[in-house]
Amino acid sequence: MALERWDPARDGAFSEAAFRRKLEKKGYRVARYVYSPGTYFPPHTHGTDKIDGVVSGQFRMTTPEGSVILEAGDALYVPRGLEHSAEVVGDDPVVSFDAAKD
């Protein structure tokens, strides 16, 4: 799993707008979603390279390599075809960026 955490020294102050700009500069199309507590996405794949980024809340991502809990400013690279699942952790909703690149 390729996980990148927000680094204020490198990336500046964290904000939703700054996070979006960072992903767009990498060539990704970014869509914003809000997921309620208890939301679960069973194992699946995508036909494009993706980054799952978290603006707020906690999102557990699981791949064959293991699991990681993403928090604000975390971005997980998910290459096309990689099976993964995702679930909201805790009682707060997750604000997420779904960034895709063909």
* pLDDT tens for each residue of 45-56: 999 999 999 999
* Cβ pair 27, 92 in contact under 8 A: no
Q: How far apart are CA 100 and CA 67, in angstroms?
A: 21
The model's pLDDT over 72-95, given as tens digits with 9 standing for 90+, comes to 999 999 999 999 999 999 999 999
- Give yes or no for residue 1 having a pLDDT over 90: no
Question: What CATH number does residue 50 fall under?
Answer: 2.60.120.10
**Considering its fold, how many domains does the chain have in total?**
1
| Beta-carbon count within 10 A of 61 CB | 21
Question: Once rounded to an integer, what is the mean pLDDT over residues 31-52?
Answer: 96
Owning domain of residue 53: 2-101
